[in-house]
Amino acid sequence: MNTTGPQLPFAPSQRYPDPAIELLDPSFARYRLFSGGVEQLASGLRWAEGPVWFGDGRYLLVSDIPNNRILRWDDCSGALSVFRAPADNANGHARDRQGRLLTCEHLTRRVTRTEYDGRITVLADTYDGKRLNSPNDITCRSDGSVWFTDPSFGIESDWEGETAPQELPHAVYRIDGASGRLDAVITDLNAPNGLCFSPDERTLYVIESRANPRRIWAYDVDAAGALSNKRSHVEATDHGALDGMACDRDGNLWCGYGSNGSAQSVGEVLDGVRVFNPAGKAIGHIHLPERCANVCFGGAKNNRLFMASSHSLYAVYVNTAGAL
């Protein structure tokens, strides 16, 4: 396939354990596989985002937002192809409890579901009579509800969407799994970004990507989906910037990481994936040659971490599995 953007040189480490996988705390050693190293699966994207794994087809979808396409990486052949183009500047993806693709679209300012036959169903595009900003990241709960963040990134320029006036405050929304009702459940964060649930679904984590410092907030979630007990879970006091994240079965958060721009000299040191334990302590870092935007778990045993990172897609096997 034709790609645009630089083809970044990448040489996997010939040493085990891979020095790119750094232990920030001895507790991270159990998650690092001695002979598991970082691999570059594809390159040539302009801004990689929103990876989602399809185990039934053994492939991964990843957004290339400025190029207005969704790409498909095949686990069997290693081939990269176009899944959908144009793709309405798609960003984050997830699968619902029936295995259907859910997509956050910047250009159309909506959340959609791709049906089994390929038809597109709009799940949300307005709230209180006003257009959403640019849905960014998305996740599901076992009760069928769909949760997504809605910052204004996609309407701030023509790069990842289309310049337009902001009609609603930044928010996190919940779509009820039974009625389809849309509710704004968080409205006090500056650019909510990545979000995910703890393994028991009793805690919701949300990244506030324009806080100073960047933060991950934690909320208690009751059986009906109501939130309470907002608390700061992680503060990136090292000039780090948090983006998207995934939770493993032990409750650790694997977060796309890079510099927040206030100290450019630390950018290369911070680029990659930062891992925080359930108490919010940084325990590990996977160093990449590019800033990482978002991650997901996948592979045959759900123990392969896929990392959408600027121009490239990377992966590494780890000694845990993604929370289901």
- Which residues are known binding-site members? 49, 136, 162, 193, 243
Edge-first strand order for the sheet with 203-208 is 192-197, 203-208, 214-221, 227-236
Of 289, 264, 315, 295, which Cα lies nearest the Cα of 8? 289
Which residues belong to the annotated binding site for substrate?
136, 162
Could you tell me if 297 and 305 are in contact, meaning their C-beta atoms sit under 8 angstroms apart?
yes
Report angle CA 125, 127, 132 to the nearest 5 degrees: 50
Tokens of 53: 């794994």
Taking the alpha carbons of 225, 229, 234, 235 in that order, is the dihedral positive or negative?
A: positive
What DSSP character marks residue 129?
T
Collapsing DSSP states into helix, strand and coil, what is residue 192? strand
- Beta-carbon-side half-sphere exposure of residue 194 (alpha carbons within 13 Å): 26
Helices (H), the chain: 267-270
Is 243 annotated as catalytic?
A: yes
Q: Is 47 left (phi over 0), alpha (psi -120 to 50) or beta?
A: beta
d(CA 316, CA 36): 7
Tokens of 56: 């039934």
Which residues belong to the annotated binding site for a divalent metal cation?
49, 193, 243
Check 243, 248, 250, 271 and give the catalytic one.
Answer: 243
For the residues of 134-177, what is the DSSP string, one character each?
----EEE-TTS-EEEEE-SGGGSSSSSS------S--EEEEE-T
| Cross-strand partners of 173 | 148, 184
| Cross-strand partners of 284 | 23, 275
The residues annotated with a catalytic role in the active site are 243
